């Protein structure tokens, strides 16, 4: 039998999640409730968090904190988060965006997880709370590598720094059905320039591996370079390092590998498509 | 299983129901509250026929827990007309033959209403974006887009 518990505080939810293997946190429910409707989830307890902290946005200064229950719709309604709007807008249609949470996106299996790709290119930290007590900040990349094992811990928020120049941040979702098709792949890039040269490049891909991944080969190829044709060519050559895309209903592994360097090249060259 | 009481405002009227713990808003609306406008299509969030407004924003009622709606405002296509007078969107859907089988219509109307409530003069692209979560298997979308654009310009919109 499936039960539901409302948790008035985050620590209550974290405590239940740590102690009960059959407890499942429900963020926006866009993935969990599918399983309920399909009869794949019939036992255990759904945890519904009503703590306002779960949906809090702190975006005034250089440090940004998004409660894990913050939805894509809430991000789109916040002007201070304009640099994240392309990534939030990439997710589903309007109704999905009013439900889909930042926390849920961290757990969404490929080819989902587009918002997480943006967070990865922004060096975000994930605040995880296992049991009572306070949360621990973990680099997003580490969190994703351990994602399957982090099943029983609560993500309370994500933290990131505002890009000094929002124009240095780029996000692109490649899909076949416009405007809201599921990702063939997605790319996020944070390319701060110092004296016209890339310093501390961060690139991430979605749907190119079981979780969103950093594009380390590209980061290395661009580091210290100006974004000219030679650097872009080198980046394209390094584009597929570490990629393990799946074949699914949206695209084959072959297709994903073929089109990634093309779209990466266009993104780096500043082409709008 | 014990039933849980839940209360919310449905189309402007306070309603209450006893629900199963994991019950969806769609099931509560259709089975307990007699509101058959939102339909059950996919149960997966993909088709949009179950779209309702919660506190004015479109949500998929097939993926929403009823108990999460406690104290909130829920609006469906059933509440769009005022008495015998159709909402301009409903009138323009009829005018433009924007429904064939009609299955997608309540979700389309709800998604479109949410757009026009916020943006009474949308562009064609904004209309397309607003209904991008709603699938129509019959019309080819053109009549629907035309109806929404016509309703946007209609004098009755403000009043509705
Ligand atoms: C029609 C449709 C289209 C979609 N399109 C896209 C798309 O284009 N791109 C995309 O990336 N995704 C897409 N999604 C998938 C999904 O909506 C998003 O990934 C969303 O962000 C998931 O968030 P949620 O809160 O709804 O997750 P939920 O369903 O609530 O949760 C998903 C999983 O994460 C766990 N979880 C959620 N929050 C937490 C937390 N704070 N701590 C610990 N565990 C947690 C849950 O227990 C569950 O296992 C789509 C879904 C639908 C139905
Ligand atoms: S029935 Fe809810 S989206 Fe299809
Ligand atoms: S009119 Fe038949 S699905 Fe749209």
Residues A70 and A56 sit within 8 Å (Cβ to Cβ): yes
Out of B22, B60, B129, name the one closest to residue A2 (CB): B22
- Per CB-CB distance under 8 Å, the chain A contacts of B58 are 94-95, 98
Q: Ligand 3: distance of its center to the CA of B137 in Å?
A: 5
Q: What is the mean pLDDT of residues B69-94?
A: 96
Q: What digits encode the pLDDT tens for the residues B125-159? A: 999 999 999 999 999 999 999 999 999 987 767 54
**B1-22 residue pLDDT tens:** 689 999 999 999 999 999 999 9
- Name which of A127, A115, A18, A113 is nearest A68 in CA terms: A127
CB atoms A93 and B134 under 8 Å: yes
- Chain A positions with Cβ closer than 8 Å to B: 1-4, 6, 26, 28-30, 33-34, 36-38, 46, 48, 73, 92-96, 98-99, 179-180
pTM above 0.80, yes or no: yes
CB of B47 closer than 6 angstroms to any ligand 2 atom: yes
In 3D space, the residue among B3, B34, B42, B38 whose CA is nearest the CA of residue A37 turns out to be B42
Beta bridge partners of B79: none
Q: Which of B107, B87, B88 is nearest to B149 (CA)?
A: B88
Other beta carbons less than 10 A from residue A164's beta carbon: 10
Contact A179 B45 (CB under 8 A): no
Burial code (b: 16+ CB inside 10 Å, e: under 16) for B64-95 equals bbbbbbeebebbbbbbbeeeeebbbbbbbbee
Residue A262 pLDDT grade (very low, low, confident, very high; cuts 50, 70, 90): very high
- Expressed in angstroms and rounded, the spacing between residue B80 Cα and the centre of ligand 3 is 19
Ligand 3 pocket check for B136: Cβ under 6 Å = yes
Give whole-number Cα distances, A163 to A144, A166, A192, in Å.
22, 5, 8
Model pLDDT for residues A10-68, shown as the tens digit of each residue: 999 999 999 999 999 999 999 999 999 999 999 999 999 999 999 999 999 999 999 99
pLDDT at A149: 75
In this prediction, residue A180 carries a pLDDT of 87
Chain A residues in contact with B44 by the CB 8 A cut-off are 34, 37-38
Question: Using one digit for the tens of pLDDT, what is the confidence trace for A91-105?
Answer: 999 999 999 999 999
DSSP string for chain B: ---EEEEEEETTEEEEEEE-TT-BHHHIIIIIS---SS--S-SSSSS-TTEEEETTEEEEGGGSBGGGGTT-EEE-GGGSSBTTBPPHHHHHHHHTT--SS-TTHHHHHHHHHHHHHH-SS--HHHHHHHTTT---SSS-SHHHHHHHHHHHT-TTTTT-
* Average pLDDT, integer, range B110-125: 97
The DSSP call for residue A162 is P
Q: Quote the CA–CA distance of A43 and A124 in Å, as a whole number.
A: 34
Q: Is the pLDDT of residue A112 over 60?
A: yes
Q: What was the ipTM of the complex prediction? A: 0.95
Provide the 8-state DSSP code for A178.
Answer: T
Give the Å distance between the CA of B138 and the centre of ligand 3. 4
Question: What is the per-residue pLDDT for A98?
Answer: 98
Is the confidence at residue B160, as pLDDT, over 50? no
- Does the beta-carbon distance from A33 to B111 stay under 8 Å? no
Beta-strand pair A136-139/A183-190: unpaired
Angle separating helix axes A229-238 and A253-269, nearest 10 degrees:
160
Q: How many CB pairs under 8 A join A and B?
A: 85
* Residues of chain B found within 8 Å of residue A4, distances taken between Cβ atoms: 4, 21-22, 65, 67
Q: Which helix (H) or strand (E) holds A226?
A: none
Closest approach atom of ligand 1 to CA A69: 41
pLDDT tier, A169 (very low <50, low <70, confident <90, very high otherwise): very high
Q: Identify which has the larger pLDDT, A1 or A131.
A: A1
């Amino acid at each position: 039998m499936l039960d539901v518990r409302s948790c008035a505080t985050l620590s209550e939810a974290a405590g239940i999640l740590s102690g009960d293997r059959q407890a499942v946190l429900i963020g926006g429910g866009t993935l969990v409730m599918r399983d309920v409707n399909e009869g794949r989830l019939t036992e255990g307890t759904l945890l519904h968090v009503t703590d306002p902290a779960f949906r809090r946005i702190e975006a005034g200064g250089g440090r940004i904190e998004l409660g894990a229950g913050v939805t894509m719709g809430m991000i789109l309604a916040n002007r201070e988060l304009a640099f994240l709007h392309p990534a939030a807008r990439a997710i589903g249609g309007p109704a999905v965006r009013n439900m889909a949470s930042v926390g849920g996106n961290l757990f969404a299996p490929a080819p989902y997880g587009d918002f997480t790709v943006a967070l990865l290119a922004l060096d975000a930290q994930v605040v995880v709370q296992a049991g009572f007590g306070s949360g621990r900040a973990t680099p997003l990349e580490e969190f994703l590598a351990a994602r399957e094992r982090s099943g029983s811990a609560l993500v309370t928020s994500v933290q990131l720094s505002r890009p000094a120049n929002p124009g240095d941040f780029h996000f692109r979702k490649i899909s076949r059905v416009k405007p809201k098709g599921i990702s063939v792949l997605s790319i996020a890039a944070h390319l701060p320039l110092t004296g016209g040269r890339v310093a501390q490049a961060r690139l991430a891909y979605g749907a190119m591996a079981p979780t969103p991944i950093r594009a380390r080969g590209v980061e290395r190829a661009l580091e210290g370079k100006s974004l000219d044709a030679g650097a872009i060519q080198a980046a394209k050559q390094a584009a597929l390092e570490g990629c393990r895309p799946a074949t699914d209903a949206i695209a084959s592994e072959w297709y994903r590998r073929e089109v990634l360097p093309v779209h990466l090249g266009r993104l780096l060259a500043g082409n709008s498509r | 299983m014990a039933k849980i009481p839940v209360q919310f405002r449905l189309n402007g009227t306070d309603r209450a129901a006893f629900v199963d713990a994991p019950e969806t808003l769609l099931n509560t609306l259709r089975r307990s509250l007699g509101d058959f406008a939102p339909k059950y299509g996919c149960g997966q969030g993909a088709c949009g026929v179950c779209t309702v407004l919660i506190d004015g924003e479109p949500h998929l009622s097939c993926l929403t827990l009823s108990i999460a709606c406690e104290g909130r405002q829920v609006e469906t296509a059933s509440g769009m007309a005022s008495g015998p007078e159709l909402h301009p969107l409903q009138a323009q859907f009829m005018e433009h033959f924007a429904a064939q089988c009609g299955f997608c219509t309540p979700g389309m109307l709800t998604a479109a209403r949410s757009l026009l409530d916020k943006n009474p003069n949308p562009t064609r692209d904004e209309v397309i974006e607003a209904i991008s979560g709603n699938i129509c298997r019959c019309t080819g979308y053109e009549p629907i887009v035309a109806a929404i654009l016509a309703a946007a310009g209609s004098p009755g919109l403000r009043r509705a």
